[in-house]
Amino acid sequence: MSLDSYVTLGRSGLRISPLTLGTMTFGNDYGWGASPEESEKILAAYLDRGGNSIDTANIYTNGHSEKIIGDYLAGRSSIRERLVLGTKFFCNLYPNDPNGGGPSRKAIVQQLENSLRRLQTDYVDIYWLHNFDPFTPVEETLRTLDDLVSAGRIRYVGFSDVPAWATAEAATIARLRGWTPIIALQLQYSLLERTSEGELIPMAQALGMGVLPWSPLHGGMLSGKYASANTGPADTTRAWVGRPSEAEQVIVDALHSVAEEVGATDAQVALAWVQGRPGITSTLIGARRIDQFEANLGALDVTLTDAQQAALNEVSAPKLNFPADNNRQLARMLQFAGATVDGSPSTAYPPLVEHDTRY
């Protein structure tokens, strides 16, 4: 696989690379990100390999991430036109301004104008709702986004970190009203965070939405530096998740064992596992240094055997919220009573006897 092996995003005609460049690390304003110079090297490396999907947000390094991208693309109109450039709205950059963030009409329009100014472009390809506000009417948000599509200011709409029920409600309203649909989700997903398999990913598959996982290395915990076999010091500059718990360490070490079998890094295997999961369209990757980024691109060359995938699936199997686990364990048993359907066998529960129960 390569970055120019493009995939269709959800129920749309938009095609993006299998790895999307996440730019939360662009800008060292918070003391841990990449300098503008290093960020431009990462951008150039991604584009040179055929990558076309770039993701940012107004909140990333207080707007500096967007500005770095805008400065790089300024004067490169041919590159801008072939890119799928996405940014997000919701986060408030203006203390004490109640309308500075969120998904209201006033806030959305203001945030988009500011993002377009920093990005030095007339439009963004995907405009993502960054989080969930239970107070703003969803109709107001959806109608505003539809108006912005009609005005040519945005091309597509996506949701990030929004509950499945709220996303499904919004998608249904948009379809009934004939408004711009939600074509994709961003959600946290990795070997150490699989609970999206309960509601979000099945919903996306059922409603024709692409899925872009963020933090596929779980804040660096799956990078290899925390494996028990690694006796060197671990760089914890951005260790927002802390060190692995006892249960997480089992998964970290299982990943390391598979990586040794494959002859790849732990990070490459973790990324390859995420990208190979059902429902996943394009995985968000980022880095603070060009060498980290180029190493992560090596995930495109990793192929896991069925046995290796099964080992990682088993050791990281999540406990899902009701009724996901209940349905997954009992539905086939109760419905098919021992029959094999769609290639999967079932068992009968309770044990059935051959007699007529219609009495």
| Catalytically active residues, by annotation | 60
E strand or H helix at 29: none
Q: How many CB atoms lie within 10 A of CB 14?
A: 18
Within 13 Å of residue 207, how many CA atoms lie on the same side as its CB? 25
Residue 239, exposed/middle/buried by CB under 10 A (0-12, 13-18, 19+)?
Answer: middle
Q: Which two tokens stand for residue 71?
A: 């400065």
Nearest to 82 by CA among 116, 54, 55: 54
Q: Which two tokens stand for residue 169?
A: 């409600």
DSSP state of 188: E
Partnered with residue 157 across adjacent β-strands are 127, 182
For residue 7, which phi and psi values (nearest 5 degrees)? -130, 150
Angle at 290 between CA 31 and CA 36, to 5 degrees: 50
> Is the bond preceding 323 in cis, omega lying within 30 degrees of 0?
yes
Sorted by sequence, the CB contacts under 8 Å of residue 334 that are 6+ apart come out as 349
**Helices within the chain (DSSP H only):** 36-48, 64-73, 77-82, 105-119, 138-150, 164-177, 200-207, 246-262, 266-275, 290-297, 306-315, 324-336
CA 68 – CA 138 distance, rounded (Å) = 32
